[in-house]
Amino acid sequence: MIRDAALYLATADDVRVARQTIAGRPLAFRIVMAAVRAGMQRVAVPHALRDSALETALGRVKSEVGELCGQFPIYGGAEGK
């Protein structure tokens, strides 16, 4: 079973779109949460998206994410950090 996912950005415009706020949260956050709800334990997020808005949104739901997947997922860049 696949347990790792990556948020892939094909073009520079994808960074701009992923940073857009929808209903108070960055789109990148919503993509990560969808992957966690689908059973992913780790979701790699490109460094271009790892800003304070995404980190803040993830920090607010830390306990809920832990309940969804049994542990808090590891977020990292392309190299898996």
- Which of residues 73 and 37 earns the better pLDDT score? 37
Name the pTM for this structure. 0.70
On the question of pLDDT at 73 being above 70, the answer is no
Question: For the stretch 20-44, what's the b/e string if a residue is b when 16 or more beta carbons lie within 10 angstroms of its beta carbon?
Answer: eeeeebbbbbebbbebbeeebbbbb
Q: Which helix (H) or strand (E) holds 77?
A: none
